[in-house]
Structure 1
Amino acid sequence: MSEIDGSALAHTLIGAAAAIAVTLLVTYAIARRIGRHNVIDVAWGLLFCCAAVAAFAGSAGHGHDLRRWLLLVMTVAWGLRLAVHIGLRSRGHGEDPRYAKLLEGRGELGIVLIVYVLQCGIAFFVALPVMVGSLTTGAVGVLGYVGVLLWLVGLAFEGIGDRQLAAYKADPDRGPVMDRGLWGWTRHPNYFGDACVWVGLFLVAAEHWPGVLTILSPALMVYLLAFGSGKRVLERHMAERPGYRAYMERTSGFFPLPPRR
């Protein structure tokens, strides 16, 4: 059974929490300067990068080195790709209509609480498998490599889905709704990919005790993506587009399935 040094765990959790908080403070300052809060979408992936770096540093001399490196590389690769993609996509645009509607009529304190403090808590909780897993001492085995494989599937879904969507937007003869490629099998290949990434990270961490105790972290992420703020808010906005409701009727909402006729 793997054991974790209590002092190292405390220092790792505190370090990761501080890294996430500082990143969000910088994000808030940038948001105030440029006048739009959707910059938090760019910072979202970076929050996990910072948490992973803090966990890697805090676990030095304690956790299994291969697992530490796997969790660091997997988290940072996912987070950086997401941050760069969203940053390039939102460059030159104003506030996201979803944020404008969400924050309408709220004072500055309300904005800070609902956007930044809430994201801070969610990011810290979701990143727990990375922090705890970095400190476990058991060797990486079959379950860990299954987690890596699932992570690769998730990253591929995100990357391919984003490229297909970009090609659709660049096509002057495109239809009213993107239903090509992966988007014909699931309405949200990027959200499904995110879910695979975080379940994969959990499997790497959960191979040894007490990593399995962090199961609620990927459960929360999957819930938010499939049923919560991710899919629900986006589809409420997209449902106004011509043809989108018919697309919803023939295409799986999350898990990839063959399109219905």
Structure 2
Amino acid sequence: MAGPVHVLDDYYLAITLLITIAYQLFFFSIAYTCKFDKLTDFAGGTNFVILAVVTLALSGRHNARQLVVSLFIMVWALRLSGFLFFRILKTGKDDRFDEMRSKFFPFLGFWVFQMLWVWVISLPATVLNSPNVQQYSQHAFGTGRDIAGIVLYAIGLVIESVSDAQRYRFRATNDRASICDKGLFSLSRHPNYFGEIIVQFSIYMIAVSSAADGYVSGQAYNALYATILGPFFLTFLLMFISGLTLSERPGAKKRYQSGNNWEAYSRYLNRTSILLPFPPQIYERLPTLVKRTIFLEFPIYVFDPSKHSDAAKGQNPANEGGANANERRSGDGLVAEA
């Protein structure tokens, strides 16, 4: 079988970046010109598939680890883009673009961020398939680390898929005052985020297994371990940029100021873990310090009416639009709904 094809650099970083930029700019031109929302998340999800297929094809020699890692990221991306494509077909348009759809640079900014999201999270598969890693003889697939990665991937994908379906069904059959506290959402306020994080770390775990067992060395060893940037970037994105920070406090503020079943929602916040699934009967009894540390419910997520409401700030709630129902997120193609 032919060896790997060297393109621009030994880790396929440049070629995957160029493909991602070109692919996203192509769909951006359609979305901006036609004011068309239906292809945005489709473009993000399918971009992962293209990068995995291209780097796998260029690698020449296909070992089991490459195939599994590439397949896993493709399955995750196709499930995500398929779900989001189905959802946008049902809703007709994407409300998060109402303020930027006709503004070139703000709208382009979203697409640039989507380029970064795709390229960085694809790094474990990209580097694993690259010539500098393929030059080493890799050990057989199926070690304990590999099996653990497969099990974690399956758990994460099921959690993410089931929670997306549960939330979609809930919103289709309930009004805005209702609280989605059934199924996985009774154990975590954001089980889809939790599942997505597990998926990405499990892919990384399998990708670096050869390096961890000493079958890869030198710069290739360092490059493989450096791809942890992918799952860390996703986690940071969900927790501090476009996920929890845009849904937790803004969503609570909107409910409080509109009087939208606030007391029940406040109790739900108090008894339900923000991210890590945990029995609510136990969680609500935990000290605040434990919730803030072990369970990652940082103060930036917490809404305190005495500090954060418009009344406390001396503003007029009538002029406050509240948090948008649709929030940006990495896991739903950079979109989350509050």
TM range (shorter): 0.7 to 0.9
* 1:258 CA displacement: 1.3
Moved more, 75-84 or 226-235: 226-235
* 1:100 CA displacement: 3.3
One-letter amino acid of the structure 2 residue matched with residue 195 of structure 1: I
Q: Residues 237 and 91 (structure 1 numbering): CA distance in 2 closer, same or farther, change over 3 Å?
A: farther
Q: Residues 6 and 219 (structure 1 numbering): CA distance in 2 closer, same or farther, change over 3 Å?
A: farther
Partner of 1:179, secondary structure, is: coil
Moved more, 67-76 or 11-20: 11-20
TM-score normalized by structure 1?
0.84
Determine the C-alpha separation between the residues in 1 that align with 2:230 and 2:38.
24
One-letter amino acid of the structure 2 residue matched with residue 13 of structure 1: L
Match of 1:146 in 2: 148
Match of 2:12 in 1: 12
The alignment status of 1:220 with 2:220, answered yes or no, reads no
Determine the C-alpha separation between the residues in 2 that align with 1:192 and 1:238.
19
* 1:60 CA displacement: 1.7
Over the matched positions of the two proteins, sequence identity in percent amounts to 28
The residue correspondences of 1:199-214 to structure 2 (distance < 5 A) are 199-209=201-211, 210=221, 211-214=224-227
Q: 1:257 aligns with which of 274, 278, 297?
A: 278
> Contact (CA 8 Å) 2:38, 2:89: kept in 1 or not?
no
* 1:245 CA displacement: 4.1
Determine the C-alpha separation between the residues in 2 that align with 1:229 and 1:170.
24
Unaligned runs of 5+ in 2: 212-220, 285-338
Determine the C-alpha separation between the residues in 1 that align with 2:180 and 2:39.
25
Determine the C-alpha separation between the residues in 2 that align with 1:200 and 1:213.
15
Partner of 2:12, secondary structure, is: helix
**Cα-to-partner distance string for 1:53-77 (whole Å, 9 max, x where unaligned):** 122112122xx51011101210111
Q: Residues 6 and 245 (structure 1 numbering): CA distance in 2 closer, same or farther, change over 3 Å?
A: farther
Q: Residues 248 and 23 (structure 1 numbering): CA distance in 2 closer, same or farther, change over 3 Å?
A: farther
Match of 1:194 in 2: 196
Determine the C-alpha separation between the residues in 1 that align with 2:113 and 2:81.
19
Q: Residues 34 and 153 (structure 1 numbering): CA distance in 2 closer, same or farther, change over 3 Å?
A: farther
**Cα-to-partner distance string for 1:106-152 (whole Å, 9 max, x where unaligned):** 9412321x211222123212211111122444223222221121111
* 1:44 CA displacement: 2.2
Higher fraction of helix: 1
* 1:34 CA displacement: 4.2
**Cα-to-partner distance string for 1:3-37 (whole Å, 9 max, x where unaligned):** xx894653733332233223212321331244255
Determine the C-alpha separation between the residues in 2 that align with 1:15 and 1:254.
35
The residue correspondences of 1:22-101 to structure 2 (distance < 5 A) are 22-36=22-36, 39-61=39-61, 65-100=63-98
Q: Residues 58 and 66 (structure 1 numbering): CA distance in 2 closer, same or farther, change over 3 Å?
A: same
> Structure 1 stretches (4+) deviating beyond 6 angstroms?
none
Match of 1:109 in 2: 105
**Cα-to-partner distance string for 1:193-244 (whole Å, 9 max, x where unaligned):** 1101110110011113322221222111111123321222233553324344
The alignment status of 1:121 with 2:116, answered yes or no, reads yes
- Higher RCO by CA contacts (8 Å cutoff, separation 6 or greater): 1
Structure number with greater Rg is 2
Q: Residues 237 and 90 (structure 1 numbering): CA distance in 2 closer, same or farther, change over 3 Å?
A: farther
Aligned alpha-carbon RMSD (Å): 2.8
Partner of 1:87, secondary structure, is: helix
Moved more, 30-39 or 205-214: 30-39
Determine the C-alpha separation between the residues in 2 that align with 1:92 and 1:181.
23
Q: Residues 169 and 19 (structure 1 numbering): CA distance in 2 closer, same or farther, change over 3 Å?
A: same
